[in-house]
Chain A
Amino acid sequence: MDPFDENHISRDLNELILQHLTVKEILDISLVSKNWNSVIGSSRKCMKKIKLALKFWRSTSKNEQAAEKIKIMENVSRKYQHVSVDCRFDRSVSAVFWKLLTDLAPNLVSLKVKSIKLDNLTPINLPKLQELRVVYVPIDIRNILISSSDAFISLKLKLVSPLNWNKTSKSDPESSSCIRKCLTSNSNLKIIELYGAVQYGFLFDEDLSNDIKFSLHTLKIKNDMRLSLIPEITEQNLIKFLSTQSSSLQTVYIDVCRPNVIQYILNNMRVLKSVQIETVLTDYKIRDLNLRLNEHVIDLRIPYVNRNQDIREMLGVFPNLTHLFVAHLSLETMEYIAWNLQKLRLLKYRYDEIDCESLYEKLKEENPEVNQNIEMIVDYDYT
């Protein structure tokens, strides 16, 4: 008596049996019969837990990998809601993937696509998509970016094209305008992450602030460009964009930018909790930033502020930090932190040529008033 036979237990109760099993168990029993596999494949709850992630080991040769990948994508038997595929810039893999995507489109909730290469991508409508991550895609991304949908909340783009990218070149204006269109037509976006020079510099070529309807809680921008390559007008537009997000943004990550951008973020983002600034601040003194007292930021990461005098001046503005990440840590700074940042729990730093840990232990022992609860971690690998 087959429990997944409709004559015994009705279809709508199958999910209730499957809910008691783990992903591994569900995958194992999909081999019992075609019926069992199709019951699992059409169970929304099961497919919510399982992700199809086609990536390949380095040891096998490229052609073998491509052939295997194509074979699997052609035979996919379930209605996955979560898909992640690396197409390795192979045209035939990309074509088969695009066909698979067309089949899965109505159910798809999250999609990560890496290294796709197709000359003519037919647009696909993804009505339930919440999260899109696009990594290493040649400039023509127009048709990957979806039209607007209420479900869409997270956009992560890493669009450095290894084929066309050149640090000094201007990017493809059509791609930028395509991303701009995606931003202005989706009103429920909460998370935006933009990595790579190509689009950041040019995304803010234009002032977007009047056309945006969403309220982000997370914004991460990493452009890897030299500051001299970023026109000032771009940063002015970025600030205008930030001004539309000042009452919702909680997490901001920004790399190379001029000090006025940093100053704007720290002084004007009213609910900001966590901020990471990757700008190398050597020619500017933090004092010149003119920062106001900030009691809402609890997580500050400044791995490229090198002068300890600057670090201390900056910390004076953030009395409520629980997490802090800095580059060098001098004895003076350690002492300042122990006495003044009473809520700090985690202190990460990049270089440990000075023994701050012993100093902290000594301070703790001698002075019950210093913060007794700081965990110290050295992050040697940070780049």
Chain B
Amino acid sequence: MDIDRPSDPQVSVVSSDGTMFHTTLKSILLSGTIKDMIEHIGEGGVENMGAIPLQNVDSKTLEIVIKWIEHHKDNIQPTSEEIKDKTADFIDPWDENFLEMDLDKLYNLITAANYLNIPQLLWLSTRKIAMLIKNRTPQEIRSLFNIEDDWTPQEIEAVQKENQWCEEK
């Protein structure tokens, strides 16, 4: 990055439904996708570039994403390689709280985190769904997500039998 530039210049992004959001360069660089775009523009381009259009993220979701990246803009972000090997880990209570949202918002957030390539946010939001699934019976999961039970008794018995013969590799 250019040293002469103000330490954290303003950047604007536009959602798929045309709403403009203002944030800072440091925050938006948490998105690998936007980082690549900006690096492409090259030196000195940041001040002169216009608002960045994000055609795959709607305004409701973009607002949530911006809230998250602004909160984490000073934290060191794990790379997608590091995320791969990540297992149970300390979860920031702020993040836990942040992820308390309706399922449709959460699903859109996952899609956006993937599109924008924000590995840590993608990890946290997919983990959130896994936590909803954990320690629940299949019937509880069905009612939680409103899923129809489409097994016949014979079919489910066959899968249960098969599971009996599965072991951890």
Q: Could you list which residues of chain A lie within 8 angstroms of chain B, going by C-beta atoms?
A: 1-3, 8-10, 13, 16-21, 23-25, 27-37, 48-55, 68, 71-72, 75-78, 82, 110
A-B complex: 10 closest residue pairs judged by Cβ atoms: A20-B130, A16-B126, A75-B158, A31-B138, A23-B168, A51-B169, A1-B103, A8-B107, A32-B138, A27-B163
Check B149–A33 contact: CB distance below 8 A: yes
Closest-CB distance, B169 to chain A (whole angstroms): 5
Q: A2-B147, A31-B138, A33-B151 are in contact. Are A51 and B130 (CB under 8 A)?
A: no
A195–B65 alpha-carbon span in the complex (Å): 60
A23–B168 alpha-carbon span in the complex (Å): 6
Cross-chain contact of B126 among A17, A23, A54 (Cβ < 8 A): A17
Q: Is B104 an interface residue (CB 8 A)?
A: yes
Closest-CB distance, A269 to chain B (whole angstroms): 32
A-B contact count (CB 8 A): 114
A77–B149 alpha-carbon span in the complex (Å): 17
Closest-CB distance, B148 to chain A (whole angstroms): 7
Chain A neighbourhood of B149, CB < 8 A: 33
Closest-CB distance, B143 to chain A (whole angstroms): 11
What is the chain B residue whose CB lies nearest that of A8? B107
Check B107–A3 contact: CB distance below 8 A: yes
Cross-chain contact of A30 among B142, B147, B159 (Cβ < 8 A): B159
Q: A20-B126, A20-B127 are in contact. Are A31 and B156 (CB under 8 A)?
A: yes
Q: Is B122 an interface residue (CB 8 A)?
A: yes
Given A13-B111, A33-B149, 14 additional A-B pairs, CB 8 A: A1-B145, A1-B146, A2-B147, A13-B126, A16-B123, A29-B141, A31-B151, A33-B142, A49-B168, A50-B167, A52-B166, A75-B158, A75-B161, A75-B162
Q: Is B165 an interface residue (CB 8 A)?
A: yes
A–B pairs, 26, beta carbons within 8 Å: A1-B107, A2-B146, A3-B103, A13-B110, A13-B111, A13-B126, A17-B126, A21-B130, A25-B133, A25-B134, A27-B163, A27-B166, A29-B138, A31-B138, A32-B138, A32-B142, A33-B142, A33-B149, A37-B159, A50-B166, A50-B167, A53-B167, A72-B165, A75-B159, A78-B162, A82-B169
Q: Could you list which residues of chain B lie within 8 angstroms of chain A, going by C-beta atoms?
A: 103-104, 107, 110-111, 114, 122-123, 126-127, 129-131, 133-134, 138, 141-142, 145-151, 155-156, 158-163, 165-169
Cross-chain contact of B145 among A3, A10, A51, A53 (Cβ < 8 A): A3
Chain B neighbourhood of A82, CB < 8 A: 169
Chain A neighbourhood of B166, CB < 8 A: 23, 27, 50-53
A18–B134 alpha-carbon span in the complex (Å): 11
A3–B131 alpha-carbon span in the complex (Å): 13
A52–B141 alpha-carbon span in the complex (Å): 25
Chain B neighbourhood of A68, CB < 8 A: 161
Closest-CB distance, B60 to chain A (whole angstroms): 15
A34–B152 alpha-carbon span in the complex (Å): 10
Closest-CB distance, B150 to chain A (whole angstroms): 5
Check B107–A52 contact: CB distance below 8 A: no
Closest-CB distance, A53 to chain B (whole angstroms): 5
